[in-house]
Structure 1
Amino acid sequence: MSKWTTAHIPDQSGRIAVITGANTGLGYETAAALAVKGARVVLAVRNVEKGKAAAERITAATAGADVTVQELDLTSLQSIREAAEQIRAAHDRIDLLINNAGVMVTPKSTTKDGFELQFGTNHLGHFALTGLLIERLLPASGSRVVTVSSNGHKYPAPIRFDDLQWERSYSRMGAYGQSKLANLMFTYELQRRLAGTNTIAAAAHPGASRSELGRNAPLPIMVLFAPFMPIQQSAAMGALPTLRAATDPGVLGGQFFGPSGIGELRGHPKVVVSNDRSHDVDAQRRLWAVSEELTGVTYPIG
């Protein structure tokens, strides 16, 4: 299938999709496309007012759309636990969990629990949320966990197990790359643990897409990425790899989707290959164990 689009999304009627960071950009486009196809969509967002505005835009555009808003702050384990409890109370099953929210190249700072902000938000927050919701996914036939990574996972450095929180030194791009590499390693280890269940794990990346993700970038990084600005694709196009990973009936557990163009910067989604570091099984297992220890969340699988 050379040019997969939202037209290829099967009917999603009766399916429940939880999407983090869905009030803007890629997450919003993902939510809107799933709502058009009949899914019951939960916008899991930090800013509830912005979430409500996004829900209103979706329902105004799609007659009969079923969209609700759930407060979720991925920088707070307490908020994650409260959100998961409320989602579990509202839904006896979840068909799609899309771990989309993220931060990029932020100044050195920490989450409310003291984790480096990018690693804590992009990886640990989603690790905890997925673990707290997994029991709602397991009974649902064809359920999926889709985690959004980035070309940034190719940053030339492994996971810094000896300094995960970047306390000795800090690099905005290095910390971002670590968090996106962690997203993929989490996906591959999760898929291994899901073997034999109704649920699969997949990953996606949007290539070079217009969104608010780079709003924290300092001037030197903006200058570095300036040559790519003219070729950035729309957020709607950038959301297609996520949507394909979430809905294409042919998706296999552990697959990674990204744009099909040169450098995976733009284009229609296809299966792509992540770097060798992301496939280091020992590192995946070590990251999983550390993530359980840091978040206090353990999974009832594997």
Structure 2
Amino acid sequence: MLSSSFGLPQGATLTAEEVCAGIRLHGKLAVITGASTGLGKETARALALAGAHVFLGGRDEQALMTAKRDISTFSLSTEISVHRLDLMSASSVCAFTKAVESLGRPVDILICNAGIMACPLWRSETGIEAQFMTNYVGHALLTSRLCPLLRSAGRARFVSLSSCAHHLASVDLADLSYRHRAYDRWSAYGQSKTAAALLAVQVYRKLGQDGVTALTVHPGMSKTELGRFLLEEEKAAMAQLTCSVGSTSLWKSAAAGAATSVWAATAAEFEGVGPAYLEDCAVAPLITQPNFQYGVMPYALDETLAQDLWHATEQLLGTTLPL
């Protein structure tokens, strides 16, 4: 694992645009999920300003078109593609990947940004719990379908968004969809974010030898649509959160929340490196006890667990996911 001292100065306050200032991504294709609003939109905007052709995926087609218009006002010369993507549906994921493939070019950057948090229990069309399906399984399927384009890029970047919520739970390989245990929406969210971290571990394990750098990002707490399922008392409690020392708020703007994703996608220091868990534009320290603020638990970087999870996911989907 990389040293936790490896990072940018004042990384917690940097914005996505500041992180990639001076970086040229002309001729590069960046695919971003959940890109119609929030962190995904800010990530796409920063990469577009750097010259990348950005391909935006999201569930709401109208919001995607609005994002395309907004981003184009900042970067008139950048190519912007959009296509509907519902990670709860395998057929939607496959249609999205076909749209990416139709460009006939490598994928230089793939950022699995989309996610849902602490929602009531519901399931995908194949019976998979919604947070696990959206935050991990849909992205695993997407990555499998796009892996030939990542390989062909030569020096591709893969970025998976997790969070400190992975401190809540590892993955229960025997009951990933809460068929045999009581559903707890926060435990389910924690499991899905651990799985998101393990996705980057698995991608690097399989594609690292082909030049693919795979990294996990904790973006920090940002006020986005991710909190739409929170109860009012939960929103109030989270609004009062402060750092463990001093009175500095833990909350970031969307532009600051997207900074670590953009750093992971563009920093030259990461070429050929992985897997690593990043936060505040730095490599996070390894911790052994949850604190729900910073650091990465060992199980989120466990290669054996990542491989076992991949096989369990194939069983859930009833299909192989080649990388």
| TM-score where L is the length of structure 1 | 0.91
1:256 counterpart residue number = 277
1:48 counterpart residue number = 61
1 CA distance for matches of 2:214 and 2:137? 16
2 CA distance for matches of 1:195 and 1:28? 27
Kindly indicate whether the alpha-carbon contact (under 8 Å) linking 1:97 and 1:145 is maintained by their aligned counterparts in 2. Answer: yes
The question of 1:70 aligning with 2:83 is answered: yes
2:302 counterpart residue number = 280
Name the CA shift for 1:198/1:296 in 2 (closer, same or farther; >3 Å): farther
User: Runs of 5+ in structure 2 lacking a partner?
Assistant: 1-7, 243-248, 286-295
CA positional deviation for 1:158: 2.4
Q: Which deviations, in whole Å up to 9, do the C-alpha atoms of 1:44-101 show, x marking residues without a partner?
A: 1111111001000111122212111111110000111111112112232110010000
1:295 counterpart residue number = 317
Which of these residues, 2, 5, 24, is aligned with residue 9 of structure 2? 2
Kindly indicate whether the alpha-carbon contact (under 8 Å) linking 2:201 and 2:302 is maintained by their aligned counterparts in 1. Answer: no
Name the CA shift for 1:270/1:122 in 2 (closer, same or farther; >3 Å): same
2 CA distance for matches of 1:280 and 1:254? 10
Q: Which deviations, in whole Å up to 9, do the C-alpha atoms of 1:5-37 show, x marking residues without a partner?
A: 534422010000000000100000000000001
Greater CA deviation, 173-182 or 185-194?
Answer: 185-194
User: Runs of 5+ in structure 1 lacking a partner?
Assistant: 260-268
Which of these residues, 70, 73, 79, is aligned with residue 57 of structure 1? 70
CA positional deviation for 1:296: 4.7
Kindly indicate whether the alpha-carbon contact (under 8 Å) linking 2:90 and 2:138 is maintained by their aligned counterparts in 1. Answer: yes
2:196 aligned counterpart, secondary structure? helix
Q: Which runs of 4+ in 1 moved over 4 A?
A: none
Q: 1:21-40 alignment to 2 at 5 Å?
A: 21-40=34-53
Q: Give me the identity figure in percent.
A: 34
RMSD: 1.7
The amino acid of 1:247's aligned partner reads T
The question of 1:150 aligning with 2:150 is answered: no
2 CA distance for matches of 1:295 and 1:81? 13
2 CA distance for matches of 1:146 and 1:279? 14
The amino acid of 1:161's aligned partner reads L
Name the CA shift for 1:279/1:24 in 2 (closer, same or farther; >3 Å): same
| TM-score where L is the length of structure 2 | 0.86
2:282 counterpart residue number = 270
1 CA distance for matches of 2:319 and 2:101? 16
2 CA distance for matches of 1:213 and 1:8? 23
1:82 aligned counterpart, secondary structure? helix
Aligned length: 291
1:164 counterpart residue number = 176
2 CA distance for matches of 1:245 and 1:190? 15
CA positional deviation for 1:220: 4.4
Name the CA shift for 1:91/1:49 in 2 (closer, same or farther; >3 Å): farther
Q: Which has the higher contact order (CA 8 A, sep 6+)?
A: 2
The amino acid of 1:256's aligned partner reads Y
1 CA distance for matches of 2:300 and 2:18? 31
2 CA distance for matches of 1:210 and 1:223? 13
1:141 counterpart residue number = 154
